[in-house]
Structure 1
Amino acid sequence: MTRNSRLPQIFNVVIVAQQGRLAYEALLFAASLRHSAPGFKGRLLIAEPQPGPLWDKDPRIGSDALRTALTELGAEFIPFQSQHFGSAYPYGNKIEMLSALPEGEPFVFFDTDTLITGDLTTVPFDFTRPSASLRREGTWPEPQLYGPGYSGLWKSLYDKFGLDFESSLDLSQPDEYWRRYLYFNAGFFYYRCPRAFGELFLDYALAARDDPPVELCAQSFDPWLDQIVLPLVIHKLGGGRDTLPPGLLDGAISCHYRFLPLLYARESARAIEVLETVAATHKIKKLLKERDAIKRMIYQKRGAKVRALFDQDNLPRREQAIRNRIKSNGFWMR
């Protein structure tokens, strides 16, 4: 073994899927993982919420054909019960599902609206130092005119949970600029044990939601709750913003596209190549065409029209501006 070589890590990849758009995104995710990382030896787990009083209707994937296609791609369904969130806050799935995952086994969670575009096994995860996606905008908090600023708002949460606030700061960023404060997109995160991560995630989420610090009285927790407490969890567990080399996840290895029109508008040529390659597989193609947005964007070439609206080397800085241009041209779908 050479000095710089390393044994491949074995870890689980986890997504949450349920009836509707997420089921078809899960199919694209699973197909892209097998296409781009054929040497991946871990388990691909699909956490699936089960029906219960917190769901308006059965959240499980009802299509036998979709379930079969996912299992043929090597996916395993992991059922979990929704005890705290459900229909009222579906983002809570990524919190509650962690309790159903194999204890003590390293995991990487991805949102279903993600493509694997490179060899995931080459990512040098340090599962003892968790992190999450830094591809985000300053969506939370929103300081009020006569209220606390970013420091006061964030510090109130660190104080509530007995965490050291100062060590979480990026001192290269200006005071009262949102990037100074530990903030992630929850599109991916990882750790050495899903149970340990999940217990902390749930405790912090419920405490912040049900008994927030008075400084946060004017702040919205919906839909931001998961992203509000995620940095607290990561900080508590000894992780941070710089535990992964840049340019891999949300870069050469994965693409969190959010919605297909956004993928065609702003993502790499590689991401589009992977999307259209895996979507061309006959068995998958037949299923994906059931979803109107996928049928129009990929198979009827609406995505190419969206891409022509933008200079990928000079994109609008904010996502909302990209969305608005797509919508004004009549091409928005989800």
Structure 2
Amino acid sequence: MTASNITRFNILAVAQSGRLEHEAILLAASLRHSDPGFTGTLFIAEPQPGPKWPDDPRIAPKTRALLETLGATILPFDSAAFGASYPNGNKIEALAALPDDPFLFLDTDTLITGPVSAIPFDFAHPSASMRREGTWPKIELYGPTYAQTWKSLYDRFGLDYAASLDLTQPSEYWQRHLYFNAGWFFHQSPRAFGNRYLAFARSIRDNPPEDLVCQELYPWLDQIALPLVIHSFNGSRPGPDLAALDGTATCHYRSLSLLYARESDHAVAVLEEVARDKALRPTLRDWEALKTLVYQNKGRKARALFDPDNLPPREQVIRNTLKRENLWLR
């Protein structure tokens, strides 16, 4: 079987105590609801206590039991490089704990809204989410340009910078450069991908190129390293075959308030249907945002604040509107 016609793959998400464990319940329940034909394994990776975690990061026993009844497998892993100082690094370090089979990583704040198993992945050529804003780098007036900043990273790892560019975009515009949201990505080997991801991220963190002198690395480190890793494995921007991701099959909602404010009617319907499952309610009620927005129906009030056909172009405008109405909840 070649990489291009693989139909069975695993899904990886990371959860720990608090909000993420509740998001993991929604992810697992929505996968069962929206893609009952999925034949892979949903792994919920769980960081373990250790020197990198001053507080125990493990999920609650009742959440663990509920996730297992939903078909998820809890996957413990140790944090050697990041931990509490940079929780986004969990997605990098968790890859080493996966079986070395084709995988799709999803941020835990993702709903499955359609058949992920029907997406024609080419696992030999990785890609990632383009649902992003120009969050990095931030160009200073007299500092290095976009081209200088990104080229210094490609040069660091011996990669072909010119081949990564989208030449349909203007020079010195952020979208000319390969930049992803790390909310989803995939590859045929979590071991190879994870080892390289970790090596690149640590190199950037511990010894950034001189052209990054003006740049903040946190919280963007995972998204700085990701395009370099994808490019190194002959991957690139997602094509039309992957349109169901961030489309009809997945919804990376980021926060429940944003879900109500800007996502599709179908995504809202999936959220409300799975959240109102009587087996899930007693645990999900511990999540204040879900209790308020779903069980107390205030999500509908948040949704009424926006015209779905004319949303503000910047997420910050949506957030500020929700905050003014006391409806910004995660």
TM-score bracket, normalised by the shorter chain, equals over 0.9
Provide the residue aligned with 1:118 in structure 2.
114
Q: Percent identity?
A: 57
- Structure 1 gap segments, 5+ residues each: 1-5
Q: Tell me whether 1:176 sits opposite 2:172 in the alignment.
A: yes
TM-score (ref. length: structure 2):
0.97
Provide the residue aligned with 2:226 in structure 1.
230
Is the Cα contact below 8 Å between 1:107 and 1:190 reproduced in 2? Answer: yes
Equivalent of residue 252 in structure 2, options 239, 244, 256: 256
Regions of 4+ moved over 6 Å = none
Q: Deviations over 1:25-66 (max 9, x none)?
A: 00000000000000000011011000001102000012x221
Aligned amino acid, residue 66 of structure 1: T
Equivalent of residue 78 in structure 1, options 61, 75, 80: 75
Q: Secondary structure at the match of 1:22?
A: helix
TM-score (ref. length: structure 1):
0.96
Provide the residue aligned with 1:49 in structure 2.
47
Is the Cα contact below 8 Å between 2:124 and 2:187 reproduced in 1? Answer: yes
- Distance in 2 between the 1:262 and 1:231 partners? 26
Provide the residue aligned with 1:18 in structure 2.
16
1:146-295 matches, cutoff 5 A: 146-243=142-239, 245-295=241-291
- Distance in 1 between the 2:77 and 2:133 partners? 31
Following superposition, the deviation at residue 247 of structure 1 comes to: 2.8
Following superposition, the deviation at residue 242 of structure 1 comes to: 3.0
Following superposition, the deviation at residue 243 of structure 1 comes to: 4.4
Aligned amino acid, residue 186 of structure 2: Y
Q: Aligned Cα RMSD in Å?
A: 1.1
Aligned amino acid, residue 188 of structure 2: R
- Distance in 1 between the 2:239 and 2:121 partners? 8
- Distance in 2 between the 1:176 and 1:286 partners? 51
Following superposition, the deviation at residue 121 of structure 1 comes to: 1.0
- Structure 2 gap segments, 5+ residues each: none
Provide the residue aligned with 1:33 in structure 2.
31
Provide the residue aligned with 1:96 in structure 2.
93
Is the Cα contact below 8 Å between 1:130 and 1:243 reproduced in 2? Answer: no
- Distance in 2 between the 1:246 and 1:7 partners? 14
Aligned length: 327
Q: Deviations over 1:285-314 (max 9, x none)?
A: 111111111100100011000000000100
Following superposition, the deviation at residue 142 of structure 1 comes to: 0.5
- Distance in 1 between the 2:211 and 2:13 partners? 34
Is the Cα contact below 8 Å between 1:8 and 1:121 reproduced in 2? Answer: no
Is the Cα contact below 8 Å between 1:32 and 1:278 reproduced in 2? Answer: yes
Q: Secondary structure at the match of 2:229?
A: helix
Aligned amino acid, residue 13 of structure 2: I
Aligned amino acid, residue 68 of structure 1: A
Aligned amino acid, residue 264 of structure 1: Y
Q: Secondary structure at the match of 2:24?
A: helix
Following superposition, the deviation at residue 329 of structure 1 comes to: 1.0
Following superposition, the deviation at residue 246 of structure 1 comes to: 4.9
- Distance in 2 between the 1:244 and 1:81 partners? 37
Following superposition, the deviation at residue 245 of structure 1 comes to: 2.2
Q: Deviations over 1:92-118 (max 9, x none)?
A: 000000111112x00000000000000
